[in-house]
Structure 1
Amino acid sequence: MTSWLTVRRGDAPLIVSFPHTGTEIPAEYDSRLVSPWLARKDADWWIDKLYDFAAGLGATTIHTAISRTVIDVNRNPTGVSLYPGQATTELCPTTTFDGEPLYKAGAELDPAEVPERRALYFDPYHAAIEQEIARLRQIHPTVVIYDCHSIRSVIPRLFEGELPNFNIGTNSGTSCDPALTAAVEADCDATKFNRVTNGRFTGGWITRRHGDPKSGVHTIQMELACRGYMPETLGPVGEGEWPTAYDPAYARPMREALTAILNSCLHFARQET
């Protein structure tokens, strides 16, 4: 693997994907950006810490250290929007979720740069997922891919009001068996947190590209509202106040819920034939 792509192999029928926790921005891109903070503002903060128990369950984890500002490995590589008619960011984002420009005037992203970034960072990430699916399918008839995400709870440009704590995405029911969705929903409903299934977020490219229930590969995306696991001021945030520090005590209830969820994913995979 490369220095920015980390695959930790387990033998359980579960792949846990971390596509948006990276904050590394190569120097050739960094100098053109408005600010280091703005370029990292929309990272899925602390999600890798929150799920660091996954390896102990025998799961395979796949993580990119590259910031989504360089390229978003959870977008359609052709550039087609995953959510037509709704605000979102591109394969190579030019704005933050709040609509703030990422690039300095006169140093904007050239569309001709996108294929190179795709070859360097996007394609290897998905190749790693495919390799781990193939490896685990030699051991297990059923494999679950669990795609980890988080987002600030209130972003008016992207959605109305306050986002539920748990946002389950299954590409509107096509990326995994309904029994897996029901098991994850039950775990969410057993907590103090609220949830929605296939609401504003129905699953990104990872969920849509790799989910193939008929072939024994079930994918599910979990988008967490940040307030469920880290202190969060609802609404606009400024430099110096975001992200807040990771607090294990604050995160414990969410971490316990996520442990139950990943165990349900494993149970589903081991029972499914």
Structure 2
Amino acid sequence: MSPTDWLSVTRGDAPLVVSIPHAGTIIPSDIEARLVSPWLARKDADWWLGELYAFAADLGATVVRTGVSRTVIDVNRDPSGVSLYPGQATTGLCPVDTFDGEPLYREGQDPDAAEIAGRRIRFFDPYHAALETELDRLVARHGKVVLYDAHSIRSRAPRLFDGELPQFNIGTNSGAACDPALTRAVEAACDGAGLSRVTNGRFKGGWITRHYGQPGQGVHAVQMELACRGYIDEPTVLTPDTWPTPFHAPRAAPLQAALTDVLKACIAFANST
């Protein structure tokens, strides 16, 4: 499997890079054979984000996306294996359980250190090389660029957070990853939609936001974690027959309109002096 089979880069000239690190569902056959269930391994994907953000390229954004499942390797985790949320439940660089704590691998089949290192070389490193290439290109052209890391998650995941997640969850590494003016602009675009929003709540930004968000070097990073209910139905009980629910464009249209305003606000910020 070559990088061109799973790594997608759509180039634009606007000062905005949209990263989609968790929407992939590809699992190499040698890994899938060791899993408890292919469905469990794909259960926690950021479903349909490619379709939800299909408008981004029309705004001139550069879109970097991996088709590989986060079960294979999570390109939004610290490659050293250090937890991004110490003391809180989370998944690792090569997850061994789901968000609900269900084991992903059959007994004795978890990846060892050597296998994890190999997956880093095969999948993690090319994704970040692509991100770095596009950020460098656009910083050289514009001087200031926004990196928008796009995510979604079920509205309720009791092992990860209490209650129902707000619709918009903005993460800026507690303000370190971007200029406060960008945070305010994204918040205003979300609030204009009349939907619930929190900034630096349960999700403060993953490794992509924390690593690349270097305002002094011209890269301002923000993570957007969406509650899935904004664009697809969420069944009460998740089974292979009920999840994921299909992407339905009319259902997603109001959220897409709000996200269009968010990305336009990112571009306007990057173009400001």
Specify the TM-score bucket, using the shorter chain as the normaliser.
over 0.9
TM-superposed deviation, 1:61: 0.5
The aligned residue for residue 183 of structure 1 is: 185
Matched to 1:211, the amino acid is G
The aligned residue for residue 212 of structure 2 is: 210
The aligned residue for residue 198 of structure 1 is: 200
Matched to 1:172, the amino acid is S
Matched to 1:217, the amino acid is V
User: Secondary structure, in 3 states, of the residue corresponding to 2:224?
Assistant: strand
Specify which of 83, 91, 94 is matched with residue 93 of structure 2. Answer: 91
Q: Does 1:37 align with 2:33?
A: no
TM-score, structure 1 normalization: 0.97
Worse-superposed segment, 124-133 or 107-116? 107-116
Alignment of 1:34-183 (within 5 A): 34-183=36-185
**Identity score, percent:** 63
**Could you tell me whether the CA contact under 8 Å between 1:193 and 1:228 is conserved in 2?**
no
User: Secondary structure, in 3 states, of the residue corresponding to 1:139?
Assistant: helix
The aligned residue for residue 246 of structure 1 is: 247
Q: Does 1:19 align with 2:41?
A: no
The aligned residue for residue 263 of structure 2 is: 262
TM-superposed deviation, 1:89: 0.3
Question: How many angstroms apart in 1 are the aligned matches of 2:129 and 2:109?
Answer: 31
User: Secondary structure, in 3 states, of the residue corresponding to 1:138?
Assistant: helix
Matched to 1:145, the amino acid is L
**Could you tell me whether the CA contact under 8 Å between 1:150 and 1:224 is conserved in 2?**
yes
Q: What is the aligned length?
A: 271
Deviations 1:157-199 (A, max 9, x none): 0000000000000000000000000011011111131000000
TM-superposed deviation, 1:78: 0.4
Unaligned runs of 5+ in 2: none
TM-score, structure 2 normalization: 0.97
Question: How many angstroms apart in 2 are the aligned matches of 1:157 and 1:137?
Answer: 39
Deviations 1:104-126 (A, max 9, x none): 12322223211000011111111
Deviations 1:20-51 (A, max 9, x none): 00000001101000111101000000111000
TM-superposed deviation, 1:132: 0.6
Question: How many angstroms apart in 1 are the aligned matches of 2:112 and 2:184?
Answer: 44
Deviations 1:207-262 (A, max 9, x none): 0010110111100000000001111124x412210110101111111000000000
RMSD: 0.9
Matched to 2:123, the amino acid is Y
TM-superposed deviation, 1:138: 1.8
Matched to 1:242, the amino acid is W
